[in-house]
Amino acid sequence: MSVNLIARHAFLLACLVLAALLLVAAWVLRDQVYRTFQDPGVPFQTYTPPEGADYAETSGWYVRHAFTNDDEPAVFFVHPTTYSGGGNWNGQLDKASSVEAITEIVLPNYAAPFGNAGALYAPRYRQASLYAFMNNREDSVRARLFAYQDIQRAFDAFTAQIGDSRPIILAGYGQGGLDVLGLLLDRFAGNTDLQTRLVAAYVIESPVPLDLFSGPLNAIAPCITPEDVRCVYAFTSAMASEEGRIHIITERAMSWTPDGQLDFVDGRGLLCVNPLLSAVSNEYASARLHRGGVAAEGLDPDAVPAPIPAQTGAQCADGVLFFEQPRSRALHRPRRLVEDYRLPPFNLFYEDLRFDVARRSLNLATILQDERQWAPTLDAPEAIEDAPVIAIPDRRRF
Other Cβ atoms closer than 10 A to 302: 13
pLDDT digits (tens, 9 = 90+) for 272-286: 999 999 999 999 999
| Residue-by-residue pLDDT tens, the chain, 398 positions | 566 666 565 556 655 545 444 443 333 445 566 777 789 989 999 999 999 999 999 999 999 999 999 899 999 999 999 999 988 999 999 999 999 999 999 999 999 999 999 999 999 999 999 999 999 999 999 999 999 999 999 999 999 999 999 999 999 999 999 999 999 999 999 999 999 999 999 999 999 999 999 999 999 999 999 999 999 999 999 999 999 999 999 999 999 999 999 999 999 999 999 999 999 999 999 999 999 999 998 777 677 789 999 999 999 999 999 999 999 999 999 999 999 999 999 999 999 999 999 999 999 999 999 998 874 555 656 665 655 555 555 544 44
Tell me the Cα Rg of the chain. Answer: 27
Could you give the CA distance from residue 308 to residue 209 in angstroms, rounded to a whole number? 32
Q: Provide the percentage of residues in the chain whose pLDDT is more than 90.
A: 79
| Closest by Cα among 105, 116, 104, 126 to 65 | 116
Q: Do you know the residue count of the chain?
A: 398
- Residue 286 amino acid letter: S
In sign, the C-alpha dihedral spanning 56, 62, 66, 72 is: negative
Q: 74 - beta bridge partners?
A: 119, 168
**Angle in degrees, 0-180, between the axes of helices 138-162 and 175-183, rounded to the nearest 10:** 60
107-143 in b/e form (b: 16+ CB < 10 A) is bbbbbbbbbbbbbbbbbbbbbbbbbbbbebeebbbbb
Question: What pLDDT, on the 0 to 100 scale, is given for residue 390?
Answer: 54
3-state class of 209 per DSSP?
strand
* DSSP code string of 11-29: HHHHHHHHHHHHHHHHHHT
**Angle in degrees, 0-180, between the axes of helices 30-38 and 3-28, rounded to the nearest 10:** 70
Residues sharing a CB contact under 8 Å with residue 394, sequence separation 6 or more, in sequence order: none
Q: CB-hemisphere CA count at 13 Å for 322?
A: 15
